[in-house]
Amino acid sequence: MPYVRTVLGLLSALAACGAVAFLGYCVYFDRKRRGDPAFKLRLREKRRAQQQKAEGRGAQLWDPAKNEKLQQLFLQEVQMGELWLSRGEHRKGVEHLSNALLVCGQPQELLKVFRHTLPPKVFEMLLCKIPLICQQLEADMNEQEYLEDDPD
């Protein structure tokens, strides 16, 4: 038994020495890296680029005029969908409700509301319509990108 204790003591001392050596290695190279003038320049440039990218993205996403138009379109599509459903025109109603899903900021929540408020048959029609609308949106976006890239 004394032999096992000696081996365990040596192993724990060796592990402690390894941990101290690793920490010393980390501290040494961190100081060397931080002291490098090129590192500081690269870090500043990287932070500026990230900040500019975030500002550009924020300006695109949170344009109040665009959000108001999207909200108006959303409400209009929901109202038209309800109108067509009340008249018994399920396909036209589902078309408008799927358009509302497309411009909605939280489509999962809207689907939950539709699940509880729409008749099961209409809700199933809406679920079948979602992949088609996604494909149509992708095609429209690709066409728009093509037209923006076109020099004519």
Which pLDDT tens digit goes with each residue over 63-107?
556 678 888 888 999 999 999 999 999 999 999 888 888 888 788
* Mean of per-residue pLDDT scores for the chain: 82
- Report the distance separating Cα 43 and Cα 21, nearest Å: 28
- Report the distance separating Cα 152 and Cα 148, nearest Å: 9
Tokens of 138: 């992708």
DSSP label of 151: -
- Report the distance separating Cα 108 and Cα 67, nearest Å: 19
**HSE-up of residue 142 (Cα within 13 Å, Cβ side):** 6
Residue 124: its pLDDT value, please?
Answer: 92
Residue 141: its pLDDT value, please?
Answer: 72
Nearest to 130 by CA among 99, 85, 104: 99
- Which of the pair, 55 or 23, is modelled with greater confidence? 23
Beta-carbon contacts of 125 under 8 Å, excluding residues fewer than 6 positions away, are: 90, 91, 94
Q: 133 and 101 in contact (C-beta within 8 Å)?
A: yes
Whether residue 50 is predicted with pLDDT greater than 70 in this model: the reply is yes
Average pLDDT for 132-150: 70
What is the dihedral sign for C-alpha 54, 56, 59, 62? negative
Global pTM reads 0.51
